[in-house]
Chains A and B, each alone.
Chain A
Amino acid sequence: MKRINRNYKVRNFHQAKWDEPIIFELSKKGERGVLVPQAEEKIVALVGDGVSKIPQGMFRKELPKLPEISQPRVLRHYMRLSQMTLGADVNVEIGQGTCTVKYSPKVNEQLGKMPEMTEVHPLQHESTVQGILEIMYKTELCMREISGMDRFTFQPGGGSQAIMTMAAVVRAYHKANGNADKKDEIITTIYSHPSDAAAPALMGYKIIYIHPDENGYPDFEAFKEAVSERTAAFIVANPEDTGVYNKRVQEFTRMVHEKGGLCCYDQANANGLLGVTRAREAGFDMCHFNLHKTFSTPHGCGGPATGAMGVTKQLEKFMPAPLIDFDGEKYFLNEDITNNPYTIGKVRAFNGVAPVVMKTYAWIMNLGAEGLYEAAKIAVLNNNYLFKKLMALDCVDAPYIKGKQRIEQVRYTLEKLTEDTGIKTEDIQRRMMDFGMHYWCSHHPYYVPEPMTLEPTETPSKEDLDEYIATLEHIFKEAYETPEKFKNAPYCSSCHRVDESGMDDPNEWAISWRSYLKKSIAE
């Protein structure tokens, strides 16, 4: 019998490939999935048919144009599709770029799927949803402790929306102080998340970017020149997406406060800071966490998201409502804020995504304060282990703060590899798929040449990290020895090299079946 070699370094991988049509193409007139049973007569007699009470104006004019297909065919269809993707449960998830992707314990996933979670409705009477209100309230207490803020809302649907909420609070605050017209500038750094600029820009603010200084830290002298009476706020990620932590951030926040501005902390990169630093002590008035990503839920694009946004006491009245309070006996939705003239209003319906808050609560309770600190330490350790190993390779470098350690992620450069071989970072991305590895090109803004951003988090073991490093090394070696291999990679993926030339041309892609049909007919 052939012995299996267990001393492999690079894993043999091949993705399933099904000739799977789009589900609309599988549709067959008259085919049914499940037939919903009619209500029993007794029930109809008691509460009505459940349909006739719906106001006429709310009825659809025609039936939704869903595909007509049986349940087993639906199941097979999605099972096949799932085999053609590179899911987070299958690969070592390190290369997601700036997006923290860590393992969500399955028990937490089960908690999120409990009928007690999935079958409640946000319009139920408060007395019937005391459980989830308690969890939301207690999760908020944890968030307060972790950040030093005084109140939190879980309403924003994700990180960018939380930043938008912070920007809305900034506007409401200056409006309340009669300064809204004079305060029209928001300062951020070039390596903060792009949303830190995009969200306030959407609200009409002028954005001022700060570049790094010669040492790689946000340029304090440039910042001094940027801050003025017009400064409405400073919105920043720290560590930035390069992995560089701004040690002088307190001086930055002090300077903004001196000019009457507010300071907002984008804590999407908080994974290496839990239990180490707090937003309040660094002088911030607001902050947000991604409950997805940092606190046990898959990345926003792969699952529901929540951007938990917190403020200090002085900004509480501007929060979206309702907030959840406890009067000593029961938990309740506090609408006081809804009724005050300062609130920014709702940024999303109800209280955001309850199962995400549930999973966050479970994760925090499971780890405790010490566990959070431990998770942060391991995330930093993992990152710096990876950093040290990769920097030892001739073709890898990392700009800024030479010789110093990073927090939870690093933006590397493969410029030398590209110069030597012509192989670019996006070629590495494609080839990594052949080994079942994720390597995503998320490195905005593209100031670092041939960027590679890796963020291991506390999830991977040393063996996982070694496997990822070995795979990268293997591919770099290939780049030098057989660069032609990269021309058509990936080979073992369900989709081979995709022609991306039309990706930025709206005439060439369709975002839905309906738009596809429209475009095909037009042609």
Chain B
Amino acid sequence: MKKLGLIINPIAGMGGRVGLKGTDGVVDQAIKLGALPQAPNRTEMSLKVLSDLKEKIEIVTCSGDMGENEAKKCGFKTRVVLEIKNRNTNQQDTIIAAKKLLEEDVDLLLFAGGDGTARDIYEAVGDKMTVVGIPAGVKIHSAVYASSPQKAGDLAVLYLQDNVPKVQEVEVMDIDEEAFRNGIVKTRLYGYLKIPYEKRFLQGKKSGSVMSDQAAQRAIGFDIVDNMEKNVYYIIGPGSTTRPIMEILEIPFTLLGVDLVYNKKLVKKDLTEKELLGEIENRPVKLVVTPIGGQGYIFGRGNQQISPDVIRKVGKKNIIVVATKQKLSSLEGRPFLVDTGDERLDEELRGYIRVTSGYKELVMYKVNA
């Protein structure tokens, strides 16, 4: 019998209906404004899709609103492994619950919430567990969420039936809600969670063995490494697309930070803007960045260390953008975006840029400010 972990953040999404653009820190205000819980209903929509597997899975979850109620309501064999005492659940509850389910060694973790919830799950489980997000929050910037509760259910069914043998890492993003309420969008990349890899690229027989996203990332990595010029500094931006570059070079790296490479050796990892500027001063330098999946930001989201000053020092012609075709496909034709904080620079970066999408393979892609 398979074990399906379930965590519901019952307050997720409550801020949205009452115009609060999020629920972080304003639950009481939301309730006062008449907000009703969204996540339970949406979880139910997902669980209905899973009902065919009722006899084959056990739902491992937390008490009450954090999973037990919905799992039982939908008629699943349910085992509660964590009692939540306080009624108004908070961030810590999600983190503790996810850690508990990690100990339980569940086959898949299904969770309902928004970007904040995804962050908490990431903090608790990192890359140690495969997850599927049921979108229930106000903001859904993270790629860990399926496009609808039903699709989250579909994905879980496929994975639990072993029809999705691979997993992929996707971005956990969140915005600064306080700033957002004031009309400013500031997004940050928090990490990567593993989700089942839906074989969108594999549906055609004519294509034969199409590469998985990981294989495509590795091909990109080899292209960059094979073409690395001598005595040139390479700033390697954050992300799972740039990671294979460091893996191929067999040097340490930071997944979310910015690293500096010179003659295929690490100069320093996780540099701040100041450190970067200090290291590259008057030196030949190239910059490797990848867009944020689904959003398309190449500067200004998740890589703020690469500041306008750094970009100017590098020069537009020395920027290497890397992205797999799947990532480009996730943009559905929308251009890349730049939001460096320097309008003039954003304007200069507009136009077309060559994107390395495989080994010796480029795509001309549009950049908008």
Do chains A and B interact in one complex?
A: yes
> In the complex, which of the residues B206, B209, B210, B354 contacts A442, with contact meaning CB atoms closer than 8 Å?
B206
Residues of chain B from 55 to 81 with CB closer than 8 A to chain A in the complex: none
Interface secondary structure of A, over-half rule: loop
**Nearest Cβ in chain B — how far from A432, in angstroms?**
14
What CA separation (Å) do A519 and B155 show in the bound complex? 32
Q: A206-B361, A209-B361, A226-B364 are in contact. Are A441 and B205 (CB under 8 A)?
A: yes
Q: Mark B337-369, 1 if CB is under 8 A from A, else 0.
A: 000000000000001101001001111111000
Q: Which of A33-41, A116-124, A215-223 contacts B (4 or more CB under 8 A)?
A: A215-223
B162 touches A (CB below 8 Å): yes
> In the complex, which of the residues A206, A211, A501 contacts B165, with contact meaning CB atoms closer than 8 Å?
A501
Q: Which of A321-329, A381-389, A443-451, A464-472 contacts B (4 or more CB under 8 A)?
A: A443-451
A243 touches B (CB below 8 Å): no
Contact B364 A225 (CB under 8 A): yes
Contact A207 B204 (CB under 8 A): no
Chain B residues positioned under 8 Å from A505 (CB to CB) = 165
Residues of chain A from 165 to 223 with CB closer than 8 A to chain B in the complex: 190, 194, 197, 201, 204-212, 219, 221-223
Contact A446 B364 (CB under 8 A): no
Q: A207-B361, A210-B364, A219-B364 are in contact. Are A446 and B205 (CB under 8 A)?
A: no
What CA separation (Å) do A425 and B200 show in the bound complex? 11
Q: A194-B207, A221-B352, A441-B205 are in contact. Are A446 and B200 (CB under 8 A)?
A: yes
Contact B363 A209 (CB under 8 A): yes
What CA separation (Å) do A201 and B357 show in the bound complex? 13
Contact B205 A445 (CB under 8 A): no
B203 touches A (CB below 8 Å): yes
What CA separation (Å) do A443 and B206 show in the bound complex? 8
**Nearest Cβ in chain A — how far from B34, in angstroms?**
31
> In the complex, which of the residues B207, B210, B362, B366 contacts A206, with contact meaning CB atoms closer than 8 Å?
B362
B263 touches A (CB below 8 Å): no
Q: Mark A401-434, 1 if CB is under 8 A from B, else 0.
A: 0000000000000000000001011100000000
Contact B206 A208 (CB under 8 A): no
A97 touches B (CB below 8 Å): yes
Q: Mark B191-204, 1 if CB is under 8 A from A, else 0.
A: 00000000011111
What CA separation (Å) do A245 and B205 show in the bound complex? 26
> In the complex, which of the residues B154, B325, B362, B366 contacts A208, with contact meaning CB atoms closer than 8 Å?
B362
Q: A209-B363, A221-B352, A222-B364 are in contact. Are A442 and B329 (CB under 8 A)?
A: no
Residues of chain B from 193 to 236 with CB closer than 8 A to chain A in the complex: 200-207, 209-210
Contact A223 B364 (CB under 8 A): yes
**Nearest Cβ in chain B — how far from A511, in angstroms?**
12
Contact B364 A209 (CB under 8 A): yes
**Nearest Cβ in chain B — how far from A66, in angstroms?**
28
B333 touches A (CB below 8 Å): yes
Contact B205 A501 (CB under 8 A): no
What CA separation (Å) do A501 and B150 show in the bound complex? 22
B91 touches A (CB below 8 Å): no
**Nearest Cβ in chain A — how far from B19, in angstroms?**
28
Residue of B nearest to A419 (CB): B148
**Nearest Cβ in chain A — how far from B319, in angstroms?**
14
What CA separation (Å) do A47 and B194 show in the bound complex? 73
A331 touches B (CB below 8 Å): no
B318 touches A (CB below 8 Å): no
Residue of B nearest to A197 (CB): B361
> In the complex, which of the residues B206, B351, B361 contacts A225, with contact meaning CB atoms closer than 8 Å?
B351
B89 touches A (CB below 8 Å): no
Interface secondary structure of B, over-half rule: mixed
Residues of chain A from 80 to 106 with CB closer than 8 A to chain B in the complex: 97-99
Residue of B nearest to A223 (CB): B364
Chain A residues positioned under 8 Å from B325 (CB to CB) = 445
**Nearest Cβ in chain B — how far from A236, in angstroms?**
14
> In the complex, which of the residues B207, B352, B354, B360 contacts A201, with contact meaning CB atoms closer than 8 Å?
B360
Contact B360 A426 (CB under 8 A): no
**Contact-residue size bin, chain B (C-beta under 8 Å from the other chain):** 20 to 34
Chain A residues positioned under 8 Å from B162 (CB to CB) = 501
Contact A208 B163 (CB under 8 A): no
**Nearest Cβ in chain A — how far from B335, in angstroms?**
10
A440 touches B (CB below 8 Å): yes
Contact A446 B203 (CB under 8 A): yes
Chain B residues positioned under 8 Å from A204 (CB to CB) = 360
Chain A residues positioned under 8 Å from B354 (CB to CB) = 208, 226
Chain A residues positioned under 8 Å from B203 (CB to CB) = 424-426, 441, 446
Q: Mark A105-119, 1 if CB is under 8 A from B, else 0.
A: 000000000000000
Chain A residues positioned under 8 Å from B357 (CB to CB) = 209
Chain B residues positioned under 8 Å from A463 (CB to CB) = none
What CA separation (Å) do A361 and B154 show in the bound complex? 53
**Nearest Cβ in chain A — how far from B267, in angstroms?**
28
**Nearest Cβ in chain B — how far from A503, in angstroms?**
8
Residue of B nearest to A400 (CB): B333
Residue of B nearest to A501 (CB): B163
What CA separation (Å) do A263 and B245 show in the bound complex? 34
What CA separation (Å) do A445 and B333 show in the bound complex? 13
Contact A211 B364 (CB under 8 A): yes
**Nearest Cβ in chain A — how far from B118, in angstroms?**
23
**Nearest Cβ in chain B — how far from A180, in angstroms?**
16
**Nearest Cβ in chain A — how far from B45, in angstroms?**
13
What CA separation (Å) do A424 and B361 show in the bound complex? 30
**Nearest Cβ in chain A — how far from B10, in angstroms?**
27
Residue of B nearest to A506 (CB): B209
A504 touches B (CB below 8 Å): yes
Contact B204 A442 (CB under 8 A): yes
Contact A211 B365 (CB under 8 A): yes
Contact B207 A222 (CB under 8 A): no
Contact B333 A422 (CB under 8 A): no
Chain B residues positioned under 8 Å from A443 (CB to CB) = 204
> In the complex, which of the residues B150, B360, B366 contacts A207, with contact meaning CB atoms closer than 8 Å?
B360
Which of B201, B203, B363 has the largest count of A CB atoms less than 10 A from its CB?
Answer: B203
> In the complex, which of the residues A222, A422, A447 contacts B329, with contact meaning CB atoms closer than 8 Å?
A447
Contact B361 A201 (CB under 8 A): yes
What CA separation (Å) do A440 and B366 show in the bound complex? 32
Residue of B nearest to A453 (CB): B204
Contact B351 A441 (CB under 8 A): no
Contact A190 B363 (CB under 8 A): yes
Q: A207-B360, A446-B201, A501-B165 are in contact. Are A97 and B206 (CB under 8 A)?
A: yes
What CA separation (Å) do A23 and B366 show in the bound complex? 55
Contact B209 A209 (CB under 8 A): no
What CA separation (Å) do A201 and B362 show in the bound complex? 11
Chain A residues positioned under 8 Å from B201 (CB to CB) = 445-446
Contact A207 B352 (CB under 8 A): no
**Nearest Cβ in chain B — how far from A469, in angstroms?**
23
What CA separation (Å) do A190 and B354 show in the bound complex? 14
Contact A504 B204 (CB under 8 A): no
- A residues whose Cβ falls under 8 Å from a Cβ of B: 97-99, 190, 194, 197, 201, 204-212, 219, 221-223, 225-226, 422, 424-426, 440-447, 501, 503-505
| 7 pairs of A and B residues whose beta carbons are closest in the complex | A222-B364, A442-B206, A225-B352, A206-B360, A209-B363, A441-B204, A208-B362
- Apart from A222-B366, A446-B203, list 18 A-B contacts with CB within 8 A: A99-B206, A201-B360, A204-B360, A205-B360, A207-B361, A208-B354, A209-B357, A209-B361, A209-B364, A219-B364, A222-B365, A426-B203, A441-B206, A444-B204, A444-B207, A446-B200, A501-B163, A504-B210
- B residues whose Cβ falls under 8 Å from a Cβ of A: 150, 154, 162-163, 165, 200-207, 209-210, 325, 329, 333, 351-352, 354, 357, 360-366
List 17 A-B pairs, Cβ < 8 Å.
Answer: A194-B207, A205-B360, A208-B363, A209-B362, A209-B363, A211-B363, A211-B364, A222-B364, A222-B366, A225-B351, A225-B352, A422-B150, A442-B206, A442-B207, A443-B204, A504-B209, A505-B165
